[in-house]
Amino acid sequence: MPLYGLMQDRPLLISSLIEHAARFHPDVDIVSRLPEGGTHRTNWAGIRRDACRVAHALKQLGVGQGDRVGTLAWNSHRHLSMYFGVSGAGSVLHTVNPRLFPEQIEYIVNHAEDRVLFFDVTFAPLVEKLAPKLKTVHGYVAMTSREHMPRIDVPNLLCWDELLDAQPADFTWPEFDERLASSLCYTSGTTGNPKGVLYSHRSTVLHSLMELAPDTFGLNSAETVMLIVPMFHANAWGTPYAAAMVGTRLVLPGPHLDGRSVYELMAQEKVTFSQGVPTVWLMLFQYLDAHPELDPKALGLKRVGIGGAAVSRAMLERFERQFGAEVVQGWGMTETSPIGVVSKLLPRHEGLDDEALAQVKLKQGRGVWGVDLKLVDDAGEVQPWDGTSRGHLRVRGPWIASGYFKGEGGSPIDQEGFFSTGDVATIDADGYLQLVDRAKDVIKSGGEWISSIDVENAAMGHPAVAEAAIIGVAHPKWQERPLLIVVPRAGHVVDRASILDFLAARIARWWLPDDVVFVNELPHTATGKLLKTKLREQFKDHVLPTA
């Protein structure tokens, strides 16, 4: 007969996070730069009050348990209060990525069946354009004051300040099954329509706990975190929830992500830790390049969290040497909430020389508790963790998706319950994952794989290269060969020969691109990743000099 433990059984609910923050860290700052201009300051007690008002407002608007509530919003105190108010009330927060094409936004709002759409004034023209096509949305809330209300023609348009000011500042959060849905986020839809990932309260709270671990991001009450990763992208990597868990001071930059704005806000608010994708850091670097009188170390930045794309060696070394900051790289995806692996050194790495340390740091990271990893070949055979055997990456765990909203795309799960990520990777004996490529981006030359990630990162080390992408181009003998596409750094002159000479000393000879072309900019997805489908289309007729 089984013997059960005598422990209280309390559901893991998002409402518990904001209650904890308001009770134990009420006076800790939440700083926001607003879309309409200016800086707003509140604290965790203030976020809790607004979250309670959001919950009351949803009830007034006829939004019930399980109903989806859409947001088209930047990182701000308003969006933060939505994170807790919507989910805490039992509804589902649907953060819409405004960087998607309007047709994709129309599709996902209709697919999610959002009842109400909250939006920042930046997106007022987009909302006005889409409103007639949004079949289930019966109300719109502009997240601003009466003074800045947009003059647009949409039905049932309300003002955020007026709506919340009319609500009580306290709310009794309901208790319910922790497995119920809490939030909904759609993939970027680079191949077909975006697919919805439906998070639960349980998965979100467990994921938040892991984000506090020293071997992951180590959030704590002594940090000032500038959250650059968008709150409409995979729940901002879960940081808003984890920050509430420990009362972290948050700095929210709104839409102001250019290099100057990021630098000045970091300096003004004495940021110690920031999270963002590589494209944002490149803009910061460009600003600093144009202002050599500025000393990045004066910022006092201690750590930088980077995800969304592999960290190049040039970026790693610049943060370490010029900023004096530790780079914490991670890999994940919308479907993994998103933490999958995080790159932190082990005690056994002490004493390694700089070159050996860099090789470890440039790997995406080790698996964290809760996430199982598996590599399989094309036939489904499990591959060894030896650092060289490549395979399709599959993952499982309590915050990994088991399927997509409304069953779109079929089941992504294998017979053992592992989710197919679409990535090709290696894993070494210490459990460090290193991405080789997206399965759809891998370059197969003469039957062998060439890692576009490794070649791109090597190219980024060239002092005249701002950004680089590599794609496969048809070749009569080798099936396909790599074409390197480069964005030169401002003020630098660079040619094909210098790039190839630079790479020749850093990558395998047969990986060397057959050609190099130069462009003013590279296309990116709505989440900041390189849009290689567009590059392949653009250069599909490119004739390699070796062909």
Write out the catalytic residue numbers: 187, 335, 444, 449
In contact, 373 and 341? CB cutoff 8 Å: yes
The amino acid present at 139, given as its one-letter code, is G
* Structure tokens, 453: 């990630």
Q: Which candidate, 336, 314, 340, places its Cα nearest to that of 327?
A: 314
* Structure tokens, 333: 């995806």
The amino acid present at 414, given as its one-letter code, is D
Question: Which DSSP symbol is given to 413?
Answer: B
- Asked if the bond preceding 240 is cis, omega within 30° of 0, the reply is no
Give the HSE-up count for residue 399: Cα atoms under 13 Å, Cβ half-sphere.
Answer: 30
In contact, 212 and 245? CB cutoff 8 Å: yes
In contact, 280 and 258? CB cutoff 8 Å: no
* Structure tokens, 233: 């992208």
The DSSP-derived string for 159-206 is EHHHHHHTS-S--------TTSEEEEEE---SSSS--EEEEEHHHHHH
Rounded to a whole number of angstroms, the CA Rg of the chain reads 24
In contact, 343 and 427? CB cutoff 8 Å: no
Q: How far is CA 336 from CA 165, 185, 265, 362, in A?
A: 37, 11, 30, 21
The amino acid present at 75, given as its one-letter code, is N
Kindly compute the dihedral angle of the four CA atoms of residues 218, 337, 142, 161, in this order, to the nearest 10 degrees: -40
Task: Specify the residue for token string 């308001």.
Answer: 22
Q: Which candidate, 339, 356, 351, 368, places its Cα nearest to that of 432?
A: 368
Determine the Cα–Cα distance for residues 69 and 87; give it in Å rounded to an integer: 9
Question: Which DSSP symbol is given to 312?
Answer: P
Determine the Cα–Cα distance for residues 4 and 270; give it in Å rounded to an integer: 49
The amino acid present at 374, given as its one-letter code, is K
Q: H-type helices in 362-490, by residue range?
A: 452-460
What lies within 8 Å, CB to CB, of 264 at 6+ separation is none
Count of beta carbons in the 10 Å neighbourhood of residue 332: 26
In contact, 118 and 71? CB cutoff 8 Å: yes
- Asked if the bond preceding 155 is cis, omega within 30° of 0, the reply is no
In contact, 265 and 251? CB cutoff 8 Å: yes
Count of beta carbons in the 10 Å neighbourhood of residue 78: 28
